[in-house]
Amino acid sequence: MTTNSNTKIKQEITSQKQPIIKLENLKKAFGDNVVLNGFNLELFEGENLVIMGKSGSGKSVMIKCLIGLTEVDSGNIEIMGKNLRSLNQNELNELRTEVGFLFQGSALYDSMTVRENLEFPLRRHKQKFGIVNDTTPLVEEALNSVGLLSAINLMPAELSGGMKRRIALARTLILKPKIILYDEPTSGLDPITSKEIIELMRNIQSQYNTSSLIITHDVDCARVVSERMILLIDGVNYAEGTFNELSNSKDEKIKAFFKH
């Protein structure tokens, strides 16, 4: 009995050590512009990993390679034990339901209402929830978790930047992903709205029990949400560590990020 539960615990520990996302030696260039030059990353289950890097350092390119929106030149991409580059379109779509993506500019479909925006991911993924004819409860649940149920019939053009970001977050939540990728969740927002979004991210983390990969160059955001950080400089993971370790570093390139 005890040995049984012991092995069970052991299994849990080892499975926790398994990275849910693993990037190995990622390389990507646009013509002569080498953006990624051997980038490595491991995201563990339940973890909040922050990636920081200068504007134009290739953070968005990296995260788009990770989800298969951009073809990499070489390297390995593994998500939940599956090699992304060897999947066919259907398998890829299947895997993508487990990975939510919050785009840098929210990327709401501006010809659709908020409700239609949220329903859009459901149209191809009904099997994940069984066949649902009435999507209203799912839409309302997602909107509730970002506190914007009242906006359900508005058009994106009628929303403020912060509201758009929340709706976009609701749209990624609707498929109940295990991993959420945030591309600069606070960019272009005022400090107060940024704080609200960060707060929301933490709530979602505990409510939905997700693992998150967060791209940002907002130091405050990094301090609050990160458990571990990676600095992306010159196309490689230049440094790794906790916020405190990195912010106390003596390296000039690293210090530049934390100067205020």
Ligand X SMILES: Nc1ncnc2c1ncn2[C@@H]1O[C@H](COP(=O)(O)OP(=O)(O)OP(=O)(O)O)[C@@H](O)[C@H]1O
Binding interface with another protein (CB under 8 A): 31-32, 64, 67, 69, 89, 93, 96-97, 99, 101, 103-105, 107-110, 120-121, 123-125, 171, 175
CB atoms within 10 A of CB 9: 10
Choice between 39 and 103, CB closer to another protein: 103
Half-sphere exposure of 77 (CA within 13 A, CB side): 22
Q: Is 234 a residue that touches ligand X (CB under 6 A)?
A: no
Choice between 35 and 175, CB closer to ligand X: 35
CB of 103 to ligand X, least distance (A): 11
Half-sphere exposure of 226 (CA within 13 A, CB side): 26
CB of 33 to ligand X, least distance (A): 6
Q: Out of 50, 53, 58, 60, which residue is the one contacting Mg ion (CB under 5 A)? A: 60
Half-sphere exposure of 29 (CA within 13 A, CB side): 7
CB of 241 to another protein, least distance (A): 30
The distance of Cα 37 from the centroid of its chain, to the nearest Å, equals 22
Q: What is the DSSP string of 32-66?
A: TEEEEEEEEEEEETT-EEEEE--TTSSHHHHHHHH
Question: Is residue 130 within 8 Å of 211, Cβ to Cβ?
Answer: no
Q: Is 23 a residue that touches ligand X (CB under 6 A)?
A: no
Q: Is 48 a residue that touches Mg ion (CB under 5 A)?
A: no
Choice between 19 and 188, CB closer to Mg ion: 188
